Amino acid sequence: MSTRPLVLLAHGSRRPGPSSVLSRTAERVGTILPGVEVRTGYIELQPPDPATALEGLVDPVVLPFFLARGYHVVHDVPAAVERHGSGTVTGHLGVEEHLVEAVAQRLHEASAPLGGLAGLDHIVLGAAGSRQAVALEEVETITRLLEARLGREVTPAYLSAARPSVRDAVSTARARGARRVGVATYLLAEGRFHRALHSTGADVVAAPIGDHPALAELVAHRYREQVA
C-alpha cells in the first residue's frame, strides 16, 4: 500500500513571515518522514488554496496548522477535505509538550541578556485570543504546562477577543511588585500580533515558536497517530 501524503493547511497571511514558518516546518517534516509527500496550503489570503494543495492526492492526511481549536479547525479544514472527496483530518497542533518546549526555549533565549529567567520577576504567556471557550481552555492548559516546565508562575493573557489583555497582565504584575516582566509568546510566527506584544510594556518579549524543531516533531507525531 502506498504511503499517504500529508497536507498542512494554515491560515494564510499577506506577510512573508507566517508562510516561511510553514514552508520550513514542512521541509523539516519531510526529513523526519522520508517517503511521505508533504504539501502546504492556506485557508485564505494567499495561494495555494486548499483545493489546489489537495489536488491529485488520494486519501491524504490533512493537518490544521493552528495552535488553537477555532473556526478554521472546526469548520474550514474538514470542509476542504470533504470537498476533495477523500482524506482524513488530524488533530490541530493543540496542547502538546512539543509546543511547551518551543515556547520555553524562546523565552530562555530572550531573557538571556537579563541573566535568564532568574532576571524576570513575572512571566506572562501572550496568546492571540479567541471567542471560542475551548480555545481559551487550551491556552490555560498550555500555561499550566509551561509553569511546570519553568518552575515559575505564568499568567495567561491575550491580544484580542479575551481578557486579560497582555498589557493589563503586565501592568498588574508591576502593580504587585514585579520590576521585570517577560512575555512568553504563544504565536506561530512574526506578524501583527507579535509586533503588538512589544507595545505591552514588558521588559522581555520572546520570539514566536517559528520553525522550532519541536514543531516539526509535533506535526510528524500527528501524522503517525493518523496512519497507525
Q: Quick: pLDDT tens for 83-118.
A: 999 999 999 999 999 999 999 999 999 999 999 999
Say what angle helices 16-32 and 213-227 make with each other, to 10 degrees: 60
> CATH second-level architecture of 97-205?
3-Layer(aba) Sandwich (3.40)
The conformation of residue 76, written as its DSSP 8-state character, comes to I
Q: Identify the pLDDT of residue 15.
A: 76
DSSP helix/strand/coil, 133: helix
The answer to whether residues 98 and 222 touch, using CB atoms and an 8 Å cutoff, is: no
**DSSP class of 12:** -
Sequence length of the chain is: 228
Q: Report helix angle 133-150 to 97-111, nearest 10.
A: 60
Q: Which of 68, 90, 69 is nearest to 188 (CA)?
A: 68
Q: Which long-range contacts (CB under 8 A, 24 or more apart) does 211-214 make?
A: 211/20, 211/21, 211/24, 211/25, 211/28, 212/101, 212/102, 212/105, 212/106, 213/28, 214/98, 214/99, 214/101, 214/102, 214/105
C-alpha span between 140 and 137 (Å, rounded):
5
The rounded average pLDDT for each run of 10 residues, N- to C-terminus, in the chain (228 residues) is 90 79 97 98 95 98 96 96 98 97 99 97 98 95 98 98 98 98 97 96 98 98 96
Minimal CA–CA distance to 11: which of 73, 93, 101? 73
Write down the domain spans for the chain: 6-93+211-227, 97-205
The domain at 6-93+211-227 falls in which architecture?
3-Layer(aba) Sandwich (3.40)
Tens of pLDDT, residue by residue over 123-152, are 999 999 999 999 999 999 999 999 999 999
